[in-house]
C-alpha cells in the first residue's frame, strides 16, 4: 500500500516524442505526495511516473511496477484494503508475486479478469494509470467515491497527459494555461469546480467511479459504479436489524483501514462522525491511539472541549492546536497546493490539523462522509419544511424581515439561518436543494460578471443546465425524496469540495487520510435505507445516532451540530482586511477582465461595516485572484 502521486503520458506512433526527463519533472511537482521514493517507466509510447509515501511493504513497493514479463505496467495511488485475500486467490490461479504490495495485486487482477471487472473485487481508495503493452492501451481508473484525484488532457497530436494534480499536467510544454469560463462560473457559485470540469480549458477531472481508456489516440470514458436505487425497495426486516448491520459495517470499515506498517491516528473534531471513528478504533484495539484537534479563541467556533471529552473517554494520546488569524498567512501556499480555486474556508484547519498529526503519524482516519450518507446537514430539514403547505409564503415573509437585519456575529445565528434558507423556497425540489448550496445568486452575477464572461458561459442561469447537474437531477428522482437529496450532495459537494480539501491539505504535508465512512459497501447500505430513517422529525442522522448509542455518550450524539468552520467573516473585516483590499483592488480586478469592480467595492464596504455578511463571496473572489496571480 502506498499513498502516492502519479503522472505520465501516452502518445500515438505519430505523436511527438517525449523524454524520461519530462516525466521526471512532472514527478518533481508532487514530491509532497510521496517523499519516500520516485520511479519512472518509459518505453517510447508511454511514460509513467510515481512519487511514493510508503505505508505497506515499505522496502518492496517501488513503482511503477509490472507483471512477471513486463507487458503490463502501473503507476498507482491509493489503498486496496482487501488486497491480501485477492492476492491469495490469484496465487491459487498461478500468478507469481515478488512484493507484498496491493499495487502488484492490482496488476495481476487486471491480467486475470480484465477491465473493468477486476476492480469490482477491491475495496479502497485509488487512482491509477495502467499501460498494457500487448494492446497498446492505457487505462486510467478512479475509485468509486472519488477520494483520490485524477486529471487528464489530450493534446492536438492526441497525446494524453495525466496526473494526480493539475501541476503535473502543466509541466508539459504544449498544455496551455487558459481559464475555463464554465469552471469559473461553477466555482464562484458553489465554491468548488465539479467534475468533469477543471479550471483550465481542455483539462478534465476523471469523475468518481469512472475509468478512461486510451487507444490509438481515441478516448472513451465510462462509469463502472454508482449508488443505484434499489429495484425492489423493501425495507429491512426491522429497524433493530438495520442498526446491527450498520454497526457491523462501520466496525468492518474501520478495521480495514487500520492495516498499516507505519503509525496511524485520527482527526477528532468532537462531532458524531469523528467520535464514532475514534470509538471504533479503540474497540478494535488500536494502540497507541493518537487523536488531533483544532480549536479557536472565539467560543462560538471552538469545539475543543467536546473533542477532549471523547479523547478522555477512549483514552487517546490527544493533541490540540488553537487556530489564530495569522494562519491565513498560509493562503498563497495552500492555494498552490489546491491547483485550482476552492472556496471552502476549512482548508486552513484541515491543513493545520494534518500538519500537527504528521509529526506523530503517517496515516490519519477521518469522519468525512457521515453527513451525506445519513442526512446531517440543516438544508435537509429545510427541504422537508419546504414541502409543507403554506411554508413558502411564510418563508418569504420571514426572509424579508431577516433581510433588513444585520448579520449575527455568532457562527450560526437564527436570523442568519432564516436569510440563508428562505432564498430557495419557490423552486422545485432539485433546484431548491442546489440553490441552498449556492453562494452567488443570478442577481449578483448580473452585476459582478463582465460582458465577455457572461457571453462565454452562455448567459446568467446556464449553470443549472450544464453537466453534471442535469444527469444528477434525473438520477436523484429514482430515490425517495430524502435519499435523492443525499445523492446530489454525495455526487457533487462531497467529492469535489470535501474530498479535494482533505486530499490536498493532508498530502501537502505527506499525510495519508483514510475515510472509513466512505467504504463503498457502507455507502451502498446507507443508500438502501429509507430516507425517513435518516431524518426523523427534526432529528438529523437518526439511524446513525440510534446505532451509535452503544458507543458514544448521548451528549455527543444529540447536541446541536456546529460544523467544521473558521471565523472568516470576522477576520476579513479585521486581520485580513489589508490582504482583501490589496488582492481585490480596482487595478487587479480591471487587469483580470473577468469582473466589474463596483459590486466588489460595495461588498467590501458593507462587510467591513457589519451591514452584510459577504464572507463567502469575498473569500471566493480573493482565492481566485491569488490563484490567478500564482498559477496562470
10-residue averages of pLDDT along the chain (632 residues): 82 94 96 91 95 66 89 95 95 92 94 96 97 97 98 97 97 96 97 97 98 98 94 77 97 94 91 97 96 85 90 97 79 88 93 95 96 91 66 55 56 55 57 75 95 95 89 92 93 96 95 97 96 92 98 94 74 90 96 97 96 94 94 79
Query: Would strands 2-10 and 160-163 be described as parallel, antiparallel, or unpaired?
Result: antiparallel
What local confidence, expressed as pLDDT, does residue 324 receive?
Answer: 78
Residues noted as catalytic: 4
CB atoms within 10 A of CB 305: 10
Residue 405 has a pLDDT of 53
Q: How far apart are CA 16 and CA 14, in angstroms?
A: 7
Judged on CB neighbours under 10 Å (0-12, 13-18, 19+), 26 is: buried
Considering the entire predicted model, what is its pTM?
A: 0.93
d(CA 542, CA 375): 8
Sorted by sequence, the CB contacts under 8 Å of residue 58 that are 6+ apart come out as: 36, 261, 262
Q: Rounded CA gap, 77 and 98, in Å?
A: 19
| Predicted pLDDT at 259 | 86
Maximum CA extent, the chain? 73
d(CA 170, CA 596): 29
Question: Whole-angstrom Cα distance, residue 566 to residue 322?
Answer: 11
Amino acid at each position: 500500500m502506498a499513498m502516492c502521486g502519479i503522472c505520465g503520458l501516452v502518445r500515438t506512433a505519430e505523436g511527438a516524442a517525449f523524454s524520461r526527463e519530462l516525466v521526471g519533472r512532472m514527478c518533481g511537482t508532487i514530491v509532497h505526495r510521496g517523499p519516500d521514493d520516485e520511479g519512472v517507466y518509459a518505453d517510447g509510447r508511454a511514460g509513467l511516473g510515481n512519487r511514493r509515501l510508503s505505508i505497506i511493504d515499505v522496502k518492496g513497493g517501488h513503482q511503477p511496477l509490472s507483471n512477471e514479463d513486463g507487458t503490463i505496467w502501473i503507476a498507482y495511488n491509493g489503498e486496496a484494503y482487501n488486497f491480501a485475500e485477492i492476492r491469495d486467490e490469484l496465487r491459487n490461479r498461478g500468478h507469481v508475486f515478488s512484493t507484498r504490495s496491493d499495487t502488484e495485486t492490482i496488476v495481476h487482477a487486471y491480467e486475470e479478469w480484465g477491465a473493468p471487472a477486476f476492480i469490482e473485487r477491491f475495496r479502497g481508495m485509488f487512482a491509477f494509470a495502467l499501460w498494457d503493452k500487448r494492446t497498446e492501451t492505457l487505462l486510467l481508473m478512479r475509485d468509486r467515491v472519488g477520494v483520490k484525484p485524477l486529471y487528464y488532457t489530450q493534446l492536438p497530436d492526441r497525446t494524453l497527459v495525466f496526473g494526480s494534480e493539475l501541476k503535473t499536467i502543466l509541466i508539459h510544454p504544449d498544455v496551455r494555461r487558459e481559464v475555463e469560463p464554465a469552471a469559473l462560473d461553477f466555482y464562484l457559485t458553489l465554491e468548488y469546480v465539479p467534475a468533469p470540469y477543471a479550471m483550465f480549458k481542455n483539462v478534465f477531472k476523471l469523475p468518481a467511479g469512472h475509468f478512461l481508456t486510451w487507444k490509438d489516440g481515441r478516448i472513451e470514458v465510462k462509469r463502472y459504479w454508482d449508488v443505484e436505487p434499489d429495484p425492489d425497495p423493501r425495507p429491512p426486516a426491522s429497524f433493530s436489524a438495520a442498526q446491527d448491520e450498520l454497526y457491523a459495517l462501520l466496525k468492518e470499515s474501520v478495521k480495514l483501514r487500520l492495516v498499516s506498517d507505519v503509525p496511524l491516528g485520527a482527526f477528532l473534531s468532537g462531532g458524531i462522525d469523528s467520535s464514532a471513528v475514534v470509538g471504533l478504533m479503540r474497540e478494535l484495539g488500536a494502540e497507541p491511539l493518537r487523536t488531533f484537534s483544532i480549536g479557536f479563541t472565539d467560543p462560538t467556533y471552538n469545539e475543543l472541549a467536546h473533542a477532549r471529552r471523547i479523547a478522555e473517554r477512549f483514552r487517546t494520546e490527544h493533541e490540540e492546536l488553537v487556530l489564530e488569524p495569522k494562519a491565513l498567512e498560509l493562503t498563497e501556499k495552500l492555494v498552490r497546493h489546491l491547483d485550482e480555486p476552492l472556496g471552502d474556508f476549512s482548508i486552513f484547519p484541515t491543513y493545520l490539523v494534518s500538519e500537527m498529526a504528521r509529526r506523530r503519524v503517517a496515516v490519519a482516519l477521518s469522519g468525512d462522509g457521515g453527513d451525506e450518507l445519513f442526512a446531517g446537514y440543516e438544508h435537509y430539514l429545510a427541504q422537508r419544511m419546504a414541502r409543507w403547505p403554506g411554508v413558502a409564503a411564510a418563508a418569504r415573509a420571514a426572509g424579508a424581515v431577516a433581510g433588513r437585519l444585520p448579520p449575527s456575529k455568532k457562527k450560526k445565528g437564527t436570523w442568519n439561518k432564516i436569510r440563508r434558507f428562505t432564498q430557495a423556497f419557490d423552486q422545485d425540489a432539485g433546484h431548491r436543494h442546489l440553490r441552498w448550496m449556492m453562494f452567488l445568486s443570478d442577481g449578483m452575477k448580473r452585476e459582478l460578471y463582465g460582458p465577455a464572461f457572461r457571453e462565454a458561459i452562455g448567459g446568467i442561469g446556464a449553470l443549472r443546465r450544464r453537466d453534471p447537474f442535469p444527469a444528477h437531477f434525473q438520477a436523484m428522482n429514482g430515490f425517495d425524496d430524502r435519499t435523492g437529496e443525499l445523492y446530489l450532495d454525495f455526487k457533487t459537494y462531497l467529492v469535489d469540495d470535501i474530498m479535494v480539501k482533505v486530499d490536498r491539505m493532508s498530502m501537502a504535508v505527506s499525510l495519508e487520510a483514510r475515510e472509513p465512512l466512505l467504504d463503498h459497501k457502507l455507502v451502498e447500505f446507507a443508500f438502501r435505507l429509507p430516507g425517513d430513517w435518516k431524518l426523523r422529525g427534526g432529528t438529523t442522522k437518526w439511524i446513525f445516532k440510534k446505532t451509535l448509542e452503544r458507543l458514544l455518550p448521548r451528549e455527543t450524539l444529540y447536541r446541536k451540530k456546529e460544523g467544521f468552520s473558521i471565523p472568516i467573516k470576522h477576520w476579513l473585516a479585521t486581520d485580513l482586511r489589508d490582504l482583501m483590499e490589496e488582492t481585490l483592488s480596482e487595478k487587479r480586478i480591471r487587469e483580470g477582465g473577468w469582473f466589474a469592480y463596483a459590486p466588489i467595492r460595495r461588498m467590501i464596504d458593507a462587510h467591513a461595516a457589519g451591514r452584510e455578511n459577504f464572507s463567502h463571496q469575498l473569500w471566493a473572489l480573493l482565492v481566485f485572484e491569488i490563484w490567478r496571480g500564482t498559477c496562470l
